[in-house]
Structure 1
Amino acid sequence: MEYPITRLRRLRSSEPMRSLVRETSLDPSAFIYPLFICPGEGVRNEIGSMPGIFNLSVDEALREAETAASLGIGGLLLFGLPETKDDEGAGAWADDGIVQRALREFKKSAALKKLLLIADVCLCEYTSHGHCGMVRKQGDSYEIENDSSVRLIARTALSLATAGADIVAPSDMMDGRVAAIRDELDEEGMEQTPVLSYASKFASAFYGPFREAADSAPQFGDRRSYQMDGGNLREAMREIELDLTEGADMILMKPAMPYLDVIRAARERFDVPIGAYQVSGEYSMLHAAFAKGWLEPQRAMMESLISIRRAGAGFIVTYFARDAAKVLG
């Protein structure tokens, strides 16, 4: 019997051998850990649809951040739950807003010096109607206004940068918001603050648990007039190109798993830092399978992350950040 000269299994014979030739790897410094910050003190309320994830008061969030830093995690993505909401989402840009307060406290901690603080820039958590922009109603119909929303989004980005955000990350998907944010920051002497644009954000069914966590579900209608249609890969490339032209420094793809092809297409076309957001639905459905004993938790978690990295994401926003960092140890 003749044997092949090329035997690919030779390089799979042991863990040291597999590690040596591994093409794609993970590192905690490339993980971004989302935190949901709420009013109060000593508050640590687990989110029902997201096991292990909590709404945290500023003091509890600080402790969580320090744990993340000790694990070598690269950064935090901060979301806020305000004490009150209104039609314009004024809590998003208030000097004493919940995320602004958290940023100032985090900046005081020596333990967080190497942890990037990324502030999500959107209005949905702060508006009484739950949409990411201003709503104009005409009888029984409504419209999410673009330009008036952009002005408030830029104001929010400036407020968060002033409070200490290392990076501002607009997630609203309004047209022109990156240019407006860049102009607002530059005019106020913050030209060194990078913009991480959610440049390709799809109207997805996988956001459900997040809307519980952030109390941000729309009170009427949906977000399909501003978030992208799931069938449109070419349009995603146009969105990214426009945001880069307007001054985005980095781009974020959202969701990750159902849109790995979009991540790959962006990586092949654009020579900029690209991240992907493993969103709440991706996290929660894996946990549901873990609870049933259908999947091995550690292996499934790490495999899901390596797939995103392999598709082309240089960094990953993930609720698994702490657990994965412990595995990578």
Structure 2
Amino acid sequence: MKLNTLRPRRLRRTNAIRSMVRENSLEINDFVYPIFVVPGTNVKEEIPSMPGQYHLSVDNAVKMAEEVYKLGIPAVEVFGLPEYKDEIGSSAWDMTSPVQRAIKAIKSAVPDLVIVGDVCLCQYTLSGHCGVLKGHEVDNDPTLELIAKVALSQAEAGADIVAPSDMMDGRIAAIRETLDKNDLQNVIIMSYAVKYASGYYGPFRDAADSAPQFGDRRGYQMDPANSREAMKEVDLDMEEGADIIMVKPALAYLDIVRQVRDRVDRPVAVYNVSGEYAMVKAAAAKGWIDEKRIVMESLLSMKRAGSDIIISYHAPDVAKWLKEESGR
């Protein structure tokens, strides 16, 4: 039998050869690390459903940011739990709230660390929904003004990037207009352009105390069955001025990531969400998987699909693993 002269295995023989011809790679600069700030001082409490992740008071959030920066991770995204909630979520733009204080303190302590502010209302409203209610539905247009106020407060506190995650129609334009009117033209908007109504968010509800008090968010977050609709959302956010386009969640939506990458000429981000993280941690704790290998393979798939930026709770571990592999 005559063998085919094309032998792809030649390029897989050794680690050195595999490294030379590798098409995609993970780099520390790819990552954003999410942190959760809470009221109080000297608070560091592990989040039960997210082993290794913590609720941090502002002082400890600064310490975490310093550790992250030393690892080479270029950015953090700041989420928070407020001291009070009301019907419109006014603590979300209160400059004395934990998020705004943390952004300001981190920027002062680590000026070169990029800070992303999560712009939403769900953690701050009594209803747990992402905007102003009209009956049992979120009223889109009145919510836009509030979302813009949140983005402005975070930018004024020192955020380099604001990331609206509410999925209201027209939010990017509203935020861009507000930022520009306040001489904050250089603040970047990273849009949660494609945010699905996903079961993978479960542990985040625990972390951010943001579960809706009634109903769910399917009336404004996207149906997991749809992909053409995702492209519509991307096009609208691009037209309104989004600088970075995000897909959330990541792992179950890599086909969407690839479609977005092929469609846009702007950076593409993915959010490796809490449920993805928790499943890996739970299986690793049982000894059922090799945690490092699974994490690196999963994150590499996000790069291969076309992402430039990965928001991930695994980021500190990945930074350490990459440094070990490089011998630095």
TM-score bin (small chain): over 0.9
Q: Report how many aligned residue pairs link the two structures.
A: 323
TM-score (norm 1): 0.97
Deviation sequence 1:101-126 (CA, Å, 0-9, x none): 011111211xx233210000000011
Secondary structure, in 3 states, of the residue corresponding to 1:253? Answer: strand
Which residue of the partner structure matches residue 230 of structure 1?
224
Identity %: 54
Secondary structure, in 3 states, of the residue corresponding to 1:45? Answer: strand
Kindly report the root-mean-square deviation, in angstroms, between the aligned alpha carbons of the 2 structures: 0.9
1:118 partner amino acid = V
Structure 1 alignment gaps of length 5 or more = none
Which residue of the partner structure matches residue 115 of structure 1?
113
Cα distance in structure 1, aligned partners of 2:123 and 2:284: 30
Post-superposition shift, 1:2? 3.8
Post-superposition shift, 1:13? 1.3
Q: Write out aligned runs for 1:91-106 (5 A).
A: 91-106=91-106
Which residue of the partner structure matches residue 70 of structure 1?
70
Post-superposition shift, 1:3? 3.5
Cα distance in structure 2, aligned partners of 1:294 and 1:53: 21
Cα distance in structure 2, aligned partners of 1:95 and 1:115: 20
Post-superposition shift, 1:248? 0.6
Are the equivalent residues in 1 in contact too, given 2:261–2:307 (CA < 8 A)? yes
Secondary structure, in 3 states, of the residue corresponding to 1:52? Answer: coil
TM-score (norm 2): 0.97
* 11-20 vs 297-306, which moves further: 11-20
Which residue of the partner structure matches residue 153 of structure 1?
147
Q: Write out aligned runs for 1:1-329 (5 A).
A: 2-109=2-109, 112-137=110-135, 142-329=136-323
2:67 partner amino acid = T
Cα distance in structure 1, aligned partners of 2:78 and 2:287: 32
Cα distance in structure 2, aligned partners of 1:206 and 1:135: 25
Cα distance in structure 2, aligned partners of 1:10 and 1:228: 45
Cα distance in structure 1, aligned partners of 2:150 and 2:163: 11
Post-superposition shift, 1:83? 1.0
Are the equivalent residues in 1 in contact too, given 2:107–2:113 (CA < 8 A)? no
Post-superposition shift, 1:4? 3.1
Secondary structure, in 3 states, of the residue corresponding to 2:281? Answer: helix
Cα distance in structure 1, aligned partners of 2:112 and 2:312: 18
Deviation sequence 1:157-210 (CA, Å, 0-9, x none): 001000000000000000001000000000000111110000000000000000
Secondary structure, in 3 states, of the residue corresponding to 1:217? Answer: coil
Secondary structure, in 3 states, of the residue corresponding to 1:322? Answer: helix
